[in-house]
Amino acid sequence: MAAEDLPSEFDVVILGTGLAESVVAAACSRVGQRVLHLDRRSYYAANWASFTFNGLLTWIQEQNESQTEEVRDWSSLLEEGEELLHLSDTDSASITNLQVFCYTNEEDEEEEAESADPLNTTEEEKPEEFSHDVFIRSDFQTVTFLNQSQAAQTPGEEPEAARPHPSAAQSQSEPTRKKLSYAQLVKEGRRFNIDLVSKLLFSRGSLVDLLIKSNVSRYAEFKNVTRILTYRHGNMEQVPCSRADVFASRQLLVVEKRKLMRFLNSCMEETEEQQAYNGRPYLDFLRDQQLGDNLQHFLLHSIAMVTEDTPTEEGLASTRHFLRCLGRYGNTPFLFPVYGLGEIPQCFCRMCAVFGGTYCLRHSVHCLIVDRDTNRCRAVIDSRGQRISCSHFVVEDGCVGSDRKKMATRAVLITDASVLPGESDQQVSMVTVPPAAAGGPTVKMVELCSSTMTCVPGTYLVHLTCQSTGSAHQDLSPVVTMMFRTTESEEPGNEHGRPFVLWCFYFNMADGSAVEVEGHQLPCNVYVCSGPDGSLGHEHAVKQAEFIFHKILPDEDFCPPAPNPEDIIYDGDEGAAGQEENQGEQEIYLQNHTEHNAEEEEMTPKTTKEKDKNQSRPQTHRNTRSMQH
């Protein structure tokens, strides 16, 4: 833990611990490159991070603090023929329009919660009273605390327009469902893992394949998304997608069931009929299949997850991808990591570290040292002013001031009930909300239950995402008001049963889908990793990482399987106690590893149905759960 100097030479220096950067780090380290992986933040995973509730509150405050960058002269560290290229140290543009709303009571209503938490110590109001203060920050970000104001107030903020207070009577006439107070959210804060991005893993997508192929999967566990929902005509409906679902569905008529089965079976193969629709909207194709409104809606919005003007070939490709992913792990095509998506980059970082990668958080790169003649980056100067030479430099897009025009809109809600209560309260739901008006953005919503380890029992964590057209609050608050209840909701009589929003926050995040790996007027051995893109899956980041890896090491294997620790067998010669030498260890190790693979190929039975699966499965089916019987 001691702060000491870093070695002064690495093969690859990587700044930023987002998903693509972390995959590159693991891949390089795995094949023997000396990797230095830095992040200027105090946490892993950059804009892919997940936070405890308290961690998130800190993060929100940090977003509002403007960082000042000291410019220093590093020219003394230059050698003949070199010049400096300064990196931007701040990434202020990647998160904007951050707004926080708290709708639950400050403290528990019954018992006087002892305010052990510093955030609550200044609260003097009675719990029933609501205080609504809107703070306009100097940087145009607004933070609204309903019910919880003073805590986050820092000098320099000016409370602006106060909204009317809902009457105490109204709040008391609320349903009897006991709500968690803000104090309880803070107290239980460590049991939340709130992701900045909202994505899922397609069970046959490139991230799942990579996790399996590399054995990084050993660091993570997943939950199935248990159901696909869609919001239609003011109702939440379950989308039948597997054969079992179709048969079990109570909303579908018998003829619809037949039609849907026929369609799903037939669309897997490409036909001439389909080709005739190439270039024309998928919606037209679906219409002409005489499926009816219901099925058309399910197929377009929830299964293909495309828009009304998506071309047929694209719509069909998405539909097939969805169907192919069904049943690998469960009834829907999607997986979600236990403890949140922020785990995934960290899993790759761990792999990098295990193979010798060096990690430093709160540590940045100020500038690059570029060779004038070759236009190659020879070294970097870190935030402690140390010159560290490297053959390649990989950097997150925020540090090179790449212009990111596309933004994604996000909202995260902590609610007290599921949007569609069912037999089990432990459902993970993927919800599509088609645009309210034509041309508007489709909202994707993921509702997580407590067994995903992202929220406390009795609450749900709801992630909303869409392409931004305005500020996050403008884009998403209409959807939130439509599907949830807050203390601001009107017509209180109507909305019983809708989940209540305890706390939520809105923000826009730069969408990295258009950021190029190369160019940006950077040296040729510098590669840029984009931040999270707006799509549901992880294909963008995985592709990008593989591309960068092959630029750096054209002849190396990308993420070959790491040996299973349980299979490392030390050679008999060394097995004797007290043996002083074991030089052969590394070699034996690799040998075991190859043996293991060869054996594996024989051992894994190939079924015709599962051809592609076996190619990417280096592991034996070893059961390492606790308490096997």
Partner 1 sequence: MAGGSVSECKEYLFKVLVIGELGVGKTSIIKRYVHQLFSQHYRATIGVDFALKVLNWDSKTLVRLQLWDIAGQERFGNMTRVYYKEAVGAFVVFDVTRGATFEAVSKWKHDLDSKVKLANGNPIPAVLLANKCDQKKETSNNATLMNNFCKEAGFLGWFETSAKDNINVDEAARFLVENILANDKGLPYEESNGDRIKLDQETVTAESKSGCC
Amino acid at 290: Q
Which listed option, partner 1, ligand FAD, none, makes contact with residue 189 (CB within 5 to 8 Å by class)? ligand FAD
Which listed option, partner 1, ligand FAD, none, makes contact with residue 617 (CB within 5 to 8 Å by class)? partner 1
By C-beta, is 150 or 616 nearer to partner 1? 616
By C-beta, is 219 or 547 nearer to partner 1? 219
Least distance CB 367 / partner 1 (angstroms):
22
By C-beta, is 190 or 496 nearer to ligand FAD? 190
Which listed option, partner 1, ligand FAD, none, makes contact with residue 54 (CB within 5 to 8 Å by class)? ligand FAD
Residue 87 in contact with residue 71, Cβ under 8 Å?
Answer: no
Distance between CA atoms of 428 and 448, rounded to whole angstroms? 5
By C-beta, is 345 or 434 nearer to ligand FAD? 345
Distance between CA atoms of 325 and 547, rounded to whole angstroms? 24
Structure tokens at 346: 């960290």
By C-beta, is 153 or 614 nearer to partner 1? 614
Least distance CB 123 / ligand FAD (angstroms):
20
Least distance CB 518 / ligand FAD (angstroms):
30
Which listed option, ligand FAD, partner 1, none, makes contact with residue 59 (CB within 5 to 8 Å by class)? ligand FAD
By C-beta, is 191 or 257 nearer to ligand FAD? 191
- DSSP lists the bridge partners of residue 433 as 443
Whose CA is closest to 35, among 52, 48, 17?
17
Which listed option, ligand FAD, partner 1, none, makes contact with residue 134 (CB within 5 to 8 Å by class)? none
Which listed option, ligand FAD, partner 1, none, makes contact with residue 51 (CB within 5 to 8 Å by class)? ligand FAD
Q: What is the DSSP string of 506-575?
A: EEEEE-GGG--SS-TT--TTEEEE----SSSSSHHHHHHHHHHHHHH-TTS-SSPPPPPGGG----GGG-
Least distance CB 219 / ligand FAD (angstroms):
12
Which listed option, ligand FAD, partner 1, none, makes contact with residue 597 (CB within 5 to 8 Å by class)? none
Distance between CA atoms of 528 and 316, rounded to whole angstroms? 32
Least distance CB 582 / partner 1 (angstroms):
5
Distance between CA atoms of 214 and 107, rounded to whole angstroms? 47
Least distance CB 430 / ligand FAD (angstroms):
23
Largest Cα span, the chain: 80
| 579, HSE (Cβ side, Cα atoms, 13 Å) | 13
Structure tokens at 569: 């067998």
Distance between CA atoms of 355 and 107, rounded to whole angstroms? 48
Structure tokens at 466: 């869409």
Least distance CB 30 / ligand FAD (angstroms):
22
By C-beta, is 222 or 282 nearer to ligand FAD? 222
Least distance CB 37 / ligand FAD (angstroms):
14
Distance between CA atoms of 139 and 153, rounded to whole angstroms? 15
Which listed option, ligand FAD, partner 1, none, makes contact with residue 442 (CB within 5 to 8 Å by class)? none
Residues that bind ligand FAD (CB under 6 A): 42-44, 51-52, 54-55, 58-59, 189-190, 193, 339
Which listed option, partner 1, ligand FAD, none, makes contact with residue 555 (CB within 5 to 8 Å by class)? none
By C-beta, is 62 or 599 nearer to ligand FAD? 62
By C-beta, is 194 or 229 nearer to ligand FAD? 194
Least distance CB 352 / partner 1 (angstroms):
7
Distance between CA atoms of 370 and 526, rounded to whole angstroms? 10
Neighbouring CB atoms inside 10 A of 282's CB total: 26
| Beta strand spans in 164-218 (E) | 194-195, 201-202
Residue 210 in contact with residue 557, Cβ under 8 Å?
Answer: no
Which listed option, partner 1, ligand FAD, none, makes contact with residue 58 (CB within 5 to 8 Å by class)? ligand FAD
Whose CA is closest to 80, among 385, 389, 372, 368?
372
Distance between CA atoms of 241 and 593, rounded to whole angstroms? 40
Distance between CA atoms of 583 and 546, rounded to whole angstroms? 33
By C-beta, is 148 or 319 nearer to partner 1? 319
Q: What is the separation of C-alpha 349 from the centre of its chain, rounded to a whole number of angstroms?
A: 16
Whose CA is closest to 236, among 248, 247, 251, 217?
251
Least distance CB 411 / partner 1 (angstroms):
25
By C-beta, is 55 or 618 nearer to ligand FAD? 55
Least distance CB 57 / ligand FAD (angstroms):
9
Which listed option, ligand FAD, partner 1, none, makes contact with residue 172 (CB within 5 to 8 Å by class)? none
